[in-house]
Amino acid sequence: MLFRSKEKFNIGYPGLVSQGYIFNVGFGLSVHDISYNAIANLSYKNLTYGEPVYEGDILFGKSKVIGIEVKKDGASNGSVQVKTTITNQNNEMVQDAVQAFLLKRKPQ
């Protein structure tokens, strides 16, 4: 880690990146694919952090739809639950969480 950062980014002793920053970067990675058309972000739950992130690390996001809730009363909106996992360049889990979004339902 130290040697890669030193050679690639000229960072001799990479600093630890805050979890708040990782939270925002992680969910920012998923906006275009998942919540771009959402009416609202409803919740975040089961947030866990894994390996620490240092300056020079490269982050990747992967999301999977784990649930869809559509009301039977003819409501025009529904919610979608998505699990997002953020990994580093070594494929180690950095952050894992479940998000819920409110989406407009397609007409049937």
The predicted-structure confidence for 17-63, as pLDDT tens digits, reads as follows 999 999 998 888 877 777 778 888 889 999 999 999 988 889 998 99
Mean of the pLDDT values across residues 1-20?
Answer: 68
CA gap 32, 106 in Å, rounded:
19
Top-confidence residue, 103 or 49:
49
pTM, 2 dp: 0.78
Q: Is the pLDDT of residue 3 over 50?
A: no
Rounded to 5°, the CA angle 50-42-69 comes to: 100
Per-residue confidence (pLDDT) for residue 37, from 0 to 100: 81
